[in-house]
Amino acid sequence: MTFPRRSIPRPRDFFDLMRPQTPQVTDEYKPSWSARLRARPLDRCLTIADLRDLARHRVPLAVFNYVDGGAEDELTLHSNRTAFQSQRFLPRVLQQTHQASTTAKILGGRTTAPLILAPAGFTRMLHSAGEVAVAHAASSRGLIYTLSTVGTVTPEELQANVPNGRHWFQLYPTTDQSINADLISRARASGFEALVVTVDTQIGGRKLRDIRSGFTLPPRVTLNSFGEILRKPGWWMNIVSSLPLKLYIADYFEQDVGMASPRLMNLMRNQHLDIPLLETFKSQWSGPFIVKGILRPDDAKRLAEIGVDAIIVSNHGGRQLDQSIASLDALKLIKRECEIPAIVDGGIQTGRDIVIAIASGACAAQIGRSYLYGLMAGGQAGVDLALRLLIEETERTMVLLGLSSITDLSPECLVKPQTRA
């Protein structure tokens, strides 16, 4: 048996092993040394789960729970993730596939990936840069961003700050039809591409984490939160020193109202939403018309009959009715009975999830928490990192599946997992 030759180590050999490695910086983005120092925790984030952990240390616990939590026992919240994690791939080999294109066509427009950023309320509470930072990150990656009715910047402000972005507008139908009509008109005049009407918020879900942590809108200094001020002074200074937190929909009141005032919340809970009202909204819009919050095939068929361009299969991220069906499972039921274009959200935290969503029949996947973790962890840079991780993993998964294009994804890429006794 031959043994390797050995020699007496020299001091220089130890020095070479212990030399610190300089982080690699691409030509695309070369931040200053001070910016690199601040971004070091982001550099160590390799997954959305890592961004979630960093976000939990960057913002007060009550704010983190507002994003991270779900309704009641959070069964739907967890079933959304379980539905994706239970899927198994069936890859092809010997295909000579060394790269894959994630480019997708969504409602007539091209995006760099079949990925949409969902609407999120109170965004500037998570980071002072708020919706503008998210829209910038989405635009730089060639993705669509959806502005919420309960956003903290107006449609006009978002368009002025990110004029080259692709924007959709999400409408929570209020009980005041004149407000609904004006919101739709403002979004149309601001150049938003599509109108998304959310239909699953007749009342608000009961979020126990928020109740137990004493969460308030806007955040207030209480006995429970005082300790968080000491532990997270950077977040508090960031929020206090920026513009006052305010929902732009509050401008429709003659007197200033709080972000969670009973008057505002009562306005936002429209329990009389029906097909005729949707048809009214559709008649007031000139572009793609989308309905969000669909889980049943018969509801999808009714919307197809009135000419809705697409639906978003969603259980509101597990934040409304607990113990409802996982969004991915609902998507499969709907696609068996209805051919309407479907976007799916809920539980998507990896590029593998995006591939599974498209293979299961969705035309796009939609993320909320995944980019919000990035926002809390590092502002615009954190959102950009979240999007980059998701796009890169989508491409890598497709290559390993032996596919070169998003259009090649089909149910044949998945196999039903074997149950073990």
3 state SS for 373-392: HHHHHHHHHHHHHHHHHHHH
Low-confidence stretches of the chain (pLDDT < 70) are 1-7, 9-10, 12-39, 218-230, 243, 254-263, 418-421
- Distance in Å from the first CA to the final CA of the chain: 48
pLDDT in tens, 100-151: 999 999 998 999 999 999 999 989 999 999 999 999 999 999 999 999 999 9
Amino acid 365: pLDDT: 98
136 is catalytic: no
* Phi, psi values for residue 400, rounded to 5°: -70, -20
Residue with tokens 């962890």: 377
170 strand-pairing partners: 196
Q: Are 217 and 259 in contact (CB under 8 A)?
A: yes
pLDDT value, residue 10: 67
Tens-place pLDDT, residues 222-234: 656 566 666 777 7
Instruction: Tell me the CA distances in angstroms from 231 to 6, 41, 56, 130, 415, one per residue in order.
Output: 53, 17, 12, 22, 47
Domains and CATH numbers, the chain: 42-409 (3.20.20.70)
In this structure, which amino acid lies at residue 353? D
Cα 290 to Cα 284: distance, rounded to the nearest angstrom: 13
**Considering only CA atoms, which of 174, 134, 165 is closest in space to residue 152?**
134
Q: Find the farthest-apart pair of alpha carbons in the chain and give their distance in angstroms, rounded.
A: 90
CA separation for the pair 357, 320 (Å, rounded): 22
Report the C-alpha gap between 287 and 88 in whole angstroms: 37
Check residue 269 and give its pLDDT.
76
pTM value is 0.88
pLDDT of residue 6: 58
Number of CB atoms found within 10 A of residue 324's CB: 19
- Beta strand 310-313 with 166-171 is unpaired
Of 127, 136, 167, 316, the active-site residue reads 316
Buried/exposed 258-292: b ≥16 CB within 10 Å, e otherwise: bbeeeebeebbebeebeeebbeebbeebebbbbbb
Number of H helices, E strands in the chain: 17, 12
Q: What is the pLDDT of residue 192?
A: 97
